[in-house]
Amino acid sequence: MKTNQPLTHKIVALGGGHGLGRVLSALSDHGESVTGIVATTDNGGSTGRIRACQGGIAWGDTRNCINQLITTPSIGSMMFEYRFKGNGELNGHNLGNLMLTALDNLSVRPLEAINTICELLKVETRIVPMSEHAADLVAISQDGQKIMGETCVDEQPHAPKRLYVEPPVPATREAIAAIADADLILLGPGSFLTSTMPPLLLSEIGTALGNAKGKIYFITNLVNEPGPAGEMSLETMLAWCERAMRGRKIDGVISETERELAGDYHQAISPLASPNHEWRHDRHALKVAIERILCCSE
Protein backbone atom coordinates (compact mmCIF):
# COMPACT_ATOMS: atom_id res chain seq x y z
CA MET A 1 0.00 0.00 0.00
CA LYS A 2 1.36 3.45 -0.85
CA THR A 3 1.54 5.31 2.43
CA ASN A 4 2.86 8.59 0.99
CA GLN A 5 -0.33 9.37 -0.92
CA PRO A 6 -3.49 10.93 0.50
CA LEU A 7 -6.06 8.38 1.59
CA THR A 8 -9.20 7.89 -0.44
CA HIS A 9 -10.78 7.06 2.92
CA LYS A 10 -11.84 9.60 5.50
CA ILE A 11 -10.56 9.16 9.06
CA VAL A 12 -11.82 10.92 12.18
CA ALA A 13 -9.95 10.76 15.49
CA LEU A 14 -11.42 12.05 18.76
CA GLY A 15 -9.66 12.89 21.99
CA GLY A 16 -7.31 15.41 23.47
CA GLY A 17 -3.80 16.25 24.48
CA HIS A 18 -0.84 14.08 23.66
CA GLY A 19 -2.77 10.97 22.58
CA LEU A 20 -4.83 12.58 19.83
CA GLY A 21 -1.82 14.58 18.66
CA ARG A 22 0.14 11.34 18.30
CA VAL A 23 -2.58 9.75 16.17
CA LEU A 24 -2.92 12.82 13.95
CA SER A 25 0.83 13.13 13.49
CA ALA A 26 1.01 9.43 12.56
CA LEU A 27 -1.50 10.15 9.77
CA SER A 28 -0.19 13.58 8.78
CA ASP A 29 0.84 12.37 5.30
CA HIS A 30 -2.85 12.09 4.45
CA GLY A 31 -3.64 15.75 4.95
CA GLU A 32 -7.28 16.78 4.76
CA SER A 33 -8.44 13.16 4.63
CA VAL A 34 -7.94 13.16 8.41
CA THR A 35 -9.95 15.20 10.93
CA GLY A 36 -9.14 15.55 14.61
CA ILE A 37 -12.05 16.40 16.92
CA VAL A 38 -10.43 17.93 20.00
CA ALA A 39 -11.64 18.12 23.59
CA THR A 40 -12.16 21.68 24.83
CA THR A 41 -12.80 21.19 28.56
CA ASP A 42 -9.26 21.40 29.99
CA ASN A 43 -8.98 23.71 32.99
CA GLY A 44 -5.37 23.20 34.05
CA GLY A 45 -2.07 24.95 33.42
CA SER A 46 -1.79 27.86 31.03
CA THR A 47 -5.13 26.97 29.46
CA GLY A 48 -6.93 27.06 32.79
CA ARG A 49 -5.43 30.44 33.69
CA ILE A 50 -6.52 31.91 30.37
CA ARG A 51 -10.04 30.53 30.79
CA ALA A 52 -10.28 31.94 34.31
CA CYS A 53 -9.29 35.37 32.98
CA GLN A 54 -10.81 35.46 29.50
CA GLY A 55 -13.42 32.71 29.44
CA GLY A 56 -13.92 30.72 26.24
CA ILE A 57 -12.99 27.19 25.26
CA ALA A 58 -9.81 25.44 26.35
CA TRP A 59 -7.03 25.77 23.78
CA GLY A 60 -4.35 23.52 25.29
CA ASP A 61 -5.31 20.23 23.61
CA THR A 62 -5.75 21.95 20.24
CA ARG A 63 -2.35 23.60 20.58
CA ASN A 64 -0.79 20.26 21.50
CA CYS A 65 -2.24 18.60 18.39
CA ILE A 66 -1.03 21.40 16.12
CA ASN A 67 2.44 21.24 17.70
CA GLN A 68 2.72 17.54 16.85
CA LEU A 69 1.62 18.20 13.26
CA ILE A 70 4.27 20.81 12.50
CA THR A 71 6.74 19.21 10.12
CA THR A 72 8.65 22.28 8.91
CA PRO A 73 10.33 24.29 11.68
CA SER A 74 10.02 28.05 11.27
CA ILE A 75 10.01 31.25 13.28
CA GLY A 76 6.24 30.88 13.41
CA SER A 77 6.42 27.34 14.83
CA MET A 78 9.06 28.38 17.38
CA MET A 79 6.79 31.19 18.55
CA PHE A 80 3.76 28.88 18.70
CA GLU A 81 5.63 26.37 20.85
CA TYR A 82 7.31 28.94 23.12
CA ARG A 83 6.60 28.79 26.87
CA PHE A 84 7.41 31.75 29.09
CA LYS A 85 9.64 31.35 32.14
CA GLY A 86 10.35 33.63 35.07
CA ASN A 87 8.57 35.05 38.08
CA GLY A 88 6.00 37.29 36.41
CA GLU A 89 2.41 36.73 35.36
CA LEU A 90 3.51 35.22 32.04
CA ASN A 91 5.46 32.43 33.76
CA GLY A 92 4.20 29.06 32.52
CA HIS A 93 2.03 30.49 29.77
CA ASN A 94 2.38 28.94 26.33
CA LEU A 95 2.49 31.53 23.55
CA GLY A 96 0.45 29.23 21.31
CA ASN A 97 -2.43 29.36 23.78
CA LEU A 98 -2.24 33.15 23.86
CA MET A 99 -2.09 33.35 20.05
CA LEU A 100 -5.19 31.16 19.69
CA THR A 101 -7.00 33.24 22.33
CA ALA A 102 -6.11 36.47 20.53
CA LEU A 103 -7.18 35.09 17.15
CA ASP A 104 -10.42 33.84 18.72
CA ASN A 105 -11.12 37.39 19.93
CA LEU A 106 -10.50 38.66 16.38
CA SER A 107 -12.56 35.95 14.68
CA VAL A 108 -16.24 35.21 14.34
CA ARG A 109 -15.71 31.58 15.40
CA PRO A 110 -13.00 29.71 17.34
CA LEU A 111 -12.64 27.38 14.34
CA GLU A 112 -11.49 30.36 12.28
CA ALA A 113 -8.66 30.92 14.78
CA ILE A 114 -7.57 27.28 14.40
CA ASN A 115 -7.72 27.45 10.60
CA THR A 116 -5.63 30.65 10.60
CA ILE A 117 -2.91 29.07 12.75
CA CYS A 118 -2.92 25.85 10.70
CA GLU A 119 -2.53 27.85 7.48
CA LEU A 120 0.32 29.88 8.98
CA LEU A 121 2.14 26.74 10.17
CA LYS A 122 1.35 24.70 7.03
CA VAL A 123 -0.68 22.05 8.90
CA GLU A 124 -3.00 20.28 6.45
CA THR A 125 -4.81 17.92 8.84
CA ARG A 126 -8.22 19.29 9.78
CA ILE A 127 -8.48 20.29 13.44
CA VAL A 128 -11.99 20.87 14.79
CA PRO A 129 -12.93 21.70 18.39
CA MET A 130 -15.63 19.47 19.83
CA SER A 131 -17.59 22.62 20.65
CA GLU A 132 -17.11 26.36 20.23
CA HIS A 133 -18.85 27.08 23.52
CA ALA A 134 -17.17 27.08 26.93
CA ALA A 135 -17.95 24.10 29.15
CA ASP A 136 -16.38 22.04 31.91
CA LEU A 137 -16.08 18.34 32.60
CA VAL A 138 -18.09 17.24 35.66
CA ALA A 139 -17.94 13.92 37.50
CA ILE A 140 -20.21 12.35 40.08
CA SER A 141 -18.05 10.45 42.55
CA GLN A 142 -18.85 7.07 44.01
CA ASP A 143 -20.26 8.75 47.12
CA GLY A 144 -22.39 11.16 45.11
CA GLN A 145 -20.22 14.29 45.24
CA LYS A 146 -20.07 16.65 42.25
CA ILE A 147 -16.48 17.11 41.02
CA MET A 148 -15.92 20.12 38.76
CA GLY A 149 -13.12 20.38 36.20
CA GLU A 150 -10.70 18.01 34.50
CA THR A 151 -7.87 18.57 36.96
CA CYS A 152 -10.08 17.65 39.92
CA VAL A 153 -11.50 14.62 38.10
CA ASP A 154 -7.99 13.27 37.50
CA GLU A 155 -7.12 13.77 41.17
CA GLN A 156 -9.94 11.57 42.46
CA PRO A 157 -8.95 8.31 44.22
CA HIS A 158 -11.49 6.23 42.29
CA ALA A 159 -13.24 6.24 38.94
CA PRO A 160 -16.50 8.22 39.02
CA LYS A 161 -20.00 6.87 38.72
CA ARG A 162 -20.81 9.31 35.94
CA LEU A 163 -19.31 12.00 33.70
CA TYR A 164 -20.99 14.84 31.86
CA VAL A 165 -20.25 18.24 30.34
CA GLU A 166 -21.73 21.36 31.94
CA PRO A 167 -23.42 23.30 30.48
CA PRO A 168 -24.69 20.91 27.75
CA VAL A 169 -23.11 22.82 24.85
CA PRO A 170 -23.74 22.07 21.16
CA ALA A 171 -21.15 20.24 19.10
CA THR A 172 -19.36 21.92 16.23
CA ARG A 173 -21.30 21.27 13.03
CA GLU A 174 -18.05 20.41 11.21
CA ALA A 175 -17.39 17.68 13.76
CA ILE A 176 -20.81 16.12 13.16
CA ALA A 177 -20.33 16.27 9.38
CA ALA A 178 -16.88 14.67 9.60
CA ILE A 179 -18.20 11.78 11.70
CA ALA A 180 -21.05 11.18 9.26
CA ASP A 181 -18.59 11.09 6.34
CA ALA A 182 -15.89 8.97 8.02
CA ASP A 183 -14.84 5.51 6.91
CA LEU A 184 -12.89 4.95 10.13
CA ILE A 185 -13.32 6.58 13.55
CA LEU A 186 -10.62 6.34 16.21
CA LEU A 187 -11.08 6.84 19.96
CA GLY A 188 -8.00 7.35 22.15
CA PRO A 189 -5.31 6.83 23.23
CA GLY A 190 -4.73 9.18 26.16
CA SER A 191 -6.35 10.04 29.46
CA PHE A 192 -9.62 8.14 29.23
CA LEU A 193 -11.79 10.26 31.51
CA THR A 194 -10.43 13.69 30.58
CA SER A 195 -9.37 13.30 26.93
CA THR A 196 -11.20 10.42 25.26
CA MET A 197 -14.59 10.85 26.93
CA PRO A 198 -15.34 14.62 26.77
CA PRO A 199 -16.18 14.75 23.03
CA LEU A 200 -18.39 11.66 23.36
CA LEU A 201 -20.34 13.31 26.18
CA LEU A 202 -21.80 15.93 23.86
CA SER A 203 -25.26 14.70 22.89
CA GLU A 204 -24.86 15.50 19.18
CA ILE A 205 -21.49 13.76 18.91
CA GLY A 206 -22.77 10.71 20.80
CA THR A 207 -25.73 10.47 18.44
CA ALA A 208 -23.54 11.01 15.36
CA LEU A 209 -21.21 8.21 16.48
CA GLY A 210 -24.20 5.98 17.14
CA ASN A 211 -25.35 6.54 13.55
CA ALA A 212 -21.89 6.48 11.94
CA LYS A 213 -21.41 4.28 8.87
CA GLY A 214 -17.66 3.99 9.45
CA LYS A 215 -15.91 1.44 11.62
CA ILE A 216 -15.07 2.58 15.17
CA TYR A 217 -11.83 1.45 16.81
CA PHE A 218 -10.50 2.12 20.31
CA ILE A 219 -6.72 2.62 20.64
CA THR A 220 -5.46 1.41 24.01
CA ASN A 221 -2.76 3.05 26.09
CA LEU A 222 0.55 1.22 26.22
CA VAL A 223 0.92 1.41 30.01
CA ASN A 224 -1.60 1.63 32.81
CA GLU A 225 -2.84 5.19 33.18
CA PRO A 226 -2.23 6.99 36.49
CA GLY A 227 -5.23 8.38 38.32
CA PRO A 228 -8.78 7.03 38.60
CA ALA A 229 -8.96 5.74 35.02
CA GLY A 230 -6.09 3.39 35.85
CA GLU A 231 -8.44 1.18 37.85
CA MET A 232 -10.88 0.84 34.94
CA SER A 233 -10.66 -2.30 32.83
CA LEU A 234 -10.62 -2.09 29.04
CA GLU A 235 -14.08 -3.68 28.98
CA THR A 236 -15.37 -0.94 31.28
CA MET A 237 -13.87 1.76 29.06
CA LEU A 238 -15.47 0.25 25.96
CA ALA A 239 -18.81 0.08 27.79
CA TRP A 240 -18.57 3.76 28.76
CA CYS A 241 -17.88 4.72 25.13
CA GLU A 242 -20.70 2.55 23.82
CA ARG A 243 -23.16 3.99 26.31
CA ALA A 244 -22.22 7.52 25.17
CA MET A 245 -22.71 6.38 21.55
CA ARG A 246 -26.32 5.37 22.24
CA GLY A 247 -25.45 1.69 22.46
CA ARG A 248 -23.46 1.55 19.22
CA LYS A 249 -20.86 -1.19 19.55
CA ILE A 250 -17.20 -0.46 18.99
CA ASP A 251 -15.94 -2.57 16.09
CA GLY A 252 -12.43 -3.22 17.29
CA VAL A 253 -9.42 -2.47 19.45
CA ILE A 254 -5.91 -1.46 18.39
CA SER A 255 -3.45 -2.81 20.95
CA GLU A 256 0.00 -4.30 21.46
CA THR A 257 -1.33 -7.40 23.18
CA GLU A 258 -4.46 -9.48 22.79
CA ARG A 259 -7.07 -8.93 25.51
CA GLU A 260 -9.75 -11.18 26.91
CA LEU A 261 -12.90 -9.31 25.97
CA ALA A 262 -16.53 -10.30 26.16
CA GLY A 263 -18.12 -9.47 22.85
CA ASP A 264 -17.17 -9.72 19.21
CA TYR A 265 -14.41 -7.11 19.01
CA HIS A 266 -11.84 -7.32 16.24
CA GLN A 267 -8.40 -7.03 17.83
CA ALA A 268 -5.72 -5.40 15.69
CA ILE A 269 -2.53 -6.53 17.43
CA SER A 270 0.91 -5.21 16.54
CA PRO A 271 3.99 -3.65 18.19
CA LEU A 272 3.15 0.01 18.83
CA ALA A 273 5.62 1.32 21.42
CA SER A 274 8.27 3.88 20.57
CA PRO A 275 11.82 2.45 20.86
CA ASN A 276 12.75 5.24 23.28
CA HIS A 277 9.60 5.46 25.40
CA GLU A 278 7.55 2.33 26.11
CA TRP A 279 4.53 4.48 27.11
CA ARG A 280 4.46 6.43 23.81
CA HIS A 281 3.04 5.12 20.54
CA ASP A 282 5.51 5.00 17.67
CA ARG A 283 4.13 7.15 14.84
CA HIS A 284 5.06 4.81 12.02
CA ALA A 285 3.83 1.69 13.83
CA LEU A 286 0.53 3.39 14.62
CA LYS A 287 0.16 4.52 11.02
CA VAL A 288 0.75 0.98 9.73
CA ALA A 289 -1.78 -0.48 12.17
CA ILE A 290 -4.45 2.03 11.16
CA GLU A 291 -3.84 1.64 7.43
CA ARG A 292 -3.98 -2.15 7.78
CA ILE A 293 -7.50 -1.81 9.21
CA LEU A 294 -8.52 0.31 6.23
CA CYS A 295 -7.09 -2.24 3.79
CA CYS A 296 -8.87 -5.13 5.48
CA SER A 297 -12.20 -3.31 5.45
CA GLU A 298 -12.18 -2.67 1.68
- The domain limits of the chain are 11-296
Give the DSSP H/E element, type plus range, for residue 79: helix 75-81
Question: pLDDT tens digits for 219-261?
Answer: 999 999 999 999 999 999 999 999 999 999 999 999 999 998 9
Is 15 a residue whose pLDDT tops 70?
Answer: yes
Is 2 a residue whose pLDDT tops 70?
Answer: no
Kindly list the distances between the CA atom of residue 17 and the CA atoms of 8, 46, 92, 183, 216, in Å, as whole numbers in the listed order: 27, 13, 17, 23, 20
* Rounded-to-integer distance, Cα 97 and Cα 9, Å: 32
Q: What is the pLDDT of residue 293?
A: 94
Taking domain 11-296, whether its CATH number is 3.30.390.50 is answered by: no
Is 3 a residue whose pLDDT tops 70?
Answer: no
Q: Rounded mean pLDDT of 180-195?
A: 97
Contact 228, 157 (CB under 8 A): yes
Contact 135, 163 (CB under 8 A): no
Give the DSSP H/E element, type plus range, for residue 148: strand 146-148
* Rounded-to-integer distance, Cα 182 and Cα 212, Å: 8
Question: pLDDT tens digits for 51-102?
Answer: 999 999 999 999 999 999 998 889 989 999 999 998 888 999 999 999 999 9
